[in-house]
Amino acid sequence: MRLKYLVLFLGVATLATEAAAQRPSSSVPIAAGSRVRVRTASLVAPLIANFLEQRGDTLVFIEDGRGRGVWSFSLGQILRLETTGGQTALDSRPIGRGAAIGGGIGLAGGLLFAAAATPSDSTKEFNKLLSGALGLGIGAGIGAFIGSRIKSERWVNVPLPRQLSFRPNGRGGYTLLFGFR
């Protein structure tokens, strides 16, 4: 009698796992055609692509740019998935880069001015340290302003679904797996 229940339970469990494998366990909240950035362990640089579709637990992307390839990754392979949130003007990277370049040019200009220019009073000289610091400050301010005008893409993280699977382990038993992110 117990053997009948055990066989019935294993049959239902096997059918349930096969039925669950045929349909997606959960969907990713991205509309088809959305611009995304995908990070996986197998890629050297993030893939910037358009989301095409979800086939079961696999996401399919069409690459932007020159490659124009079709990429597919399972949910387990994806480390991070982001979608574009529009353009932003206040990105710290271009502002910092502009301030560094402008500050360097301003420092060099201030030092060259102090060395080359002669004041109206021939007994005095320009202070090179103060002239260089003034040039650095003015150049950094101008460079930061120019860097703030550069627009960049803002990325928003997309939550990936958590995985729960119940499958046979090959040794006559079943394994219950939980995937956390």
Q: Write out the chain's pLDDT in tens, 181 residues.
A: 677 776 667 666 665 555 554 444 567 888 888 899 999 888 898 999 999 998 888 899 998 777 678 899 988 888 889 998 888 777 788 899 999 999 999 999 999 988 888 777 777 777 888 889 999 999 999 999 998 888 888 888 888 776 555 556 667 776 665 555 4
pLDDT in the model for residue 18: 55
Q: Sign (positive/negative) of CA torsion 162, 25, 72, 156?
A: negative
pLDDT in the model for residue 32: 87
Query: What is the Cα–Cα distance from 55 to 37, expressed in whole angstroms?
Result: 19
Half-sphere exposure of 132 (CA within 13 A, CB side): 9
pLDDT in the model for residue 24: 46
pTM of the model: 0.54
DSSP one-letter string for 28-86:
-S--TT-EEEEEETT-SSPEEEEEEEEETTEEEEEE-SS---EEEEETTTEEEEEEEEE
pLDDT in the model for residue 175: 66
Query: What is the Cα–Cα distance from 125 to 91, expressed in whole angstroms?
Result: 41
Closest C-alpha to 25, from 54, 56, 59, 55: 56
What lies within 8 Å, CB to CB, of 57 at 6+ separation is 24, 25, 74, 75, 76, 163
pLDDT in the model for residue 181: 47
